[in-house]
Amino acid sequence: MEEKSESLRKQRIPAKKRQECLKLFEEGYGYKKTAQLAGLNTYTVRDYKRRYASGDNTWAERGGR
């Protein structure tokens, strides 16, 4: 059961990838195209886009790997 819990643990998105998403949003890309270009999960990027639209960019500035 230990192996299963390891694979289900959330993985942190590197800061470089989050910054890439922020740049793409600023260039006018939507969350689906941004996810495709950055190679990230669509739903993760959708959440980033919602936060970006609300004026919260702290998600892109957090420390990562």
**pLDDT tens for each residue of the chain, 65 residues long:** 455 555 566 778 999 999 999 999 999 999 999 999 999 999 999 999 999 999 999 999 876 55
> Is residue 6 in a domain?
no
Instruction: Please report the sign of the dihedral spanned by the C-alpha atoms of residue 11, residue 16, residue 19, residue 25.
Output: negative
What's the predicted TM-score (pTM) here? 0.79
Residue 19 counted as domain residue? yes
- The Cα 57–Cα 54 span in angstroms is 9
Give a yes or no: residue 2 inside a domain: no
CA distances from 20 to 6, 25, 48, 50 (A): 27, 9, 11, 16
Residue 4 in any domain: the answer is no
Work out how many domains the chain is built from and give that number.
1
CA 10 to chain centre: 12
- Residue 7 covered by a domain: no
- Domain containing residue 31: 12-61
